[in-house]
Amino acid sequence: MNISVIGTGSFGTSLSMVLNDNNNRVMMYGRNQDTVLEINQSHTNSQYLKNIDLASDIKATSSLKEAVSHGEVLVLAVPVNAMRSVAAEINQLLKDLSKEVLIVHVAKGLELNTYKRVSEVLEEVFDPEYVSDICVLSGPSHAEEVAEKQPTTVSTASIHSKGAEIIQDVFMTDYFRVYVNNDMVGVEIGGALKNIVALAVGALSGYGFGDNPKAAVITRGLHEIARLGTKLGANPLTFLGLAGMGDLIVTATSQHSRNYRCGQMLAGGLSLEEATEKMGMVVEGVNTTRATYELAEKYDVDMPITKVLYGYLFNDISEDEAFSALMKREKTSESEGLKQLLESQIKNSK
C-alpha cells in the first residue's frame, strides 16, 4: 500500500520504518529541506533518531502535494497545535486531486481553547467526501525503541470500525503489534492526559523524591484520567489497557519521555520557556495541562494532580505549596472513586 507519513520527527520516522518493514511504499513529508535531503541521501534522520539507519526505499519530500498524491493512507505525525492547519492544507489538496484517503493520527494531546480531541479537530476540517475514516494509533511506544525494533504493542481506534482494521493490517509486524479498540474517546484521552502525569512525575524525580511518591502520582493520575475520560463518554476499562495504563507507565518512568525530562528540568530550576526550548521538541503535556484543567473545570471533574500541576506551570506556586495541596486534601475512600467509575460505565451502557 502507498502510505505517506506527514512529519519527519522521531515518531513519524520510526513509524515509517515499521510501515516499510511491512512492505508498504512509504513517503515522508517534512518542511525542513535539510532533513528531507538527509533522509533521501544518507538514509538517516540524525536530529531525531541518532545512530539509526533508514531503509533506502523510504523516500522523503518537502512537497505536501507530492506526499498527498502518493498516499492511500496518510499518517499525521505532527504536534497537536499544528494539526488543524496541516489538516486544512491536506483537505484542500484532496479536493484539488479529487482523491479519497484513510487518515490516522498519532498525536497525543488536546487542542487549546476548544479542548477537542484530535479526531474531533480532523472531523471538523476534512470533507467526508475525501476521507473514508479517521483513526488514532496510540500506546506505549517510545520512538527510539520502535526504531530499534524492540517489541511494542499499541492500540488503534477509528470513527468507523473498518478503518482501524486497515490500520492494524498495514502496521502489524513481528515486533510491532496492533490491537483494535472500539473506544475512540478513551484511546485519545488516555494518550493525551498521561503526559500531564509524566510531567508531574518528572518534577518529583528532579526534586529527588523516591519511588513511593512517584507510584502514588502515577496511580492517582490514572484515576484522574479515567474520571474525565468517562465523563466524556469513554469506557473506563480502556484506561486499564495499552492506551491508558500502558502508555502512562512508559511515559512517566522513562528518560525517553520528553514530558518526564521536561518535568526534571523544571525541578532543576529552568523556567517553562527555557525547559521547552532546551528539549528541542514539542512537549505536549504543557498545553494539555492547560486544556485539561479548563476542561475539568467546565465539566466539574475533580482532578487534583492536574490542578496542582497547572498552578505549578502557569501560576508559579512553589513545590512546597504543590505537595501540601495534594497531601492535605480532604480525607476520602479509594474504593469510592472506583465505584463511581463502574456506576458511570453501567449507566452509559444502558
Instruction: Determine the Cα–Cα distance for residues 150 and 177; give it in Å rounded to an integer.
Output: 11
Beta-bridged to residue 154, according to DSSP, are 178
Backbone angles phi and psi of 293, in degrees to 5: -60, -45
The single residue of 59, 149, 162, 194 carrying the catalytic annotation is: 194
> Does the annotation count 194 as an active-site position?
yes
Please, what is the angle between helix 184-206 and helix 284-299, to 10°?
A: 120
**How buried is 217 (Cβ within 10 angstroms: 0-12 exposed, 13-18 middle, 19+ buried)?**
buried
CA nearest neighbour of 236 among 223, 248, 249, 220: 223
Cell of 169: 493490517
The annotation status of 155 as a binding-site residue, yes or no, is no
Residues in the chain, overall count: 350
Asked if residue 284 belongs to a known ligand binding site, the reply is yes
Gap between the Cα atoms of 141 and 255, Å rounded: 13
11 is in an annotated binding site: yes
Residue 84 assigned to a binding site: no
Q: Is 48 marked as binding a ligand?
A: yes
The Cα–Cα gap between 222 and 123 comes to 28
331 marked among binding-site residues = no
On whether 329 is known to bind a ligand per the annotation, the reply is no
Q: Say if residue 108 carries a ligand binding annotation.
A: yes
Residue 325 annotated as lining a ligand binding site: no
Instruction: Please indicate if the annotation marks 209 as binding a ligand.
Output: no
C-alpha cell at 260: 518526564
78-116 in b/e burial notation, b at 16+ Cβ within 10 A? bbbeebbebbeebbebbeeeeeebbbbbbbbbbbeeebb
Is 344 among the annotated ligand-binding positions? no
To the question of whether residue 339 is assigned a binding role by annotation, the answer is no
Q: Is 191 one of the annotated binding-site residues?
A: no
Residues assigned a catalytic role: 194
Binding residues: 10-11, 31, 48, 108, 139, 141, 143, 194, 247, 257-259, 282, 284
Annotated binding site for sn-glycerol 3-phosphate: 108, 139, 141, 194, 247, 257-259
Binding-site residue positions for NADPH = 10-11, 31, 48, 108, 143, 258, 282, 284
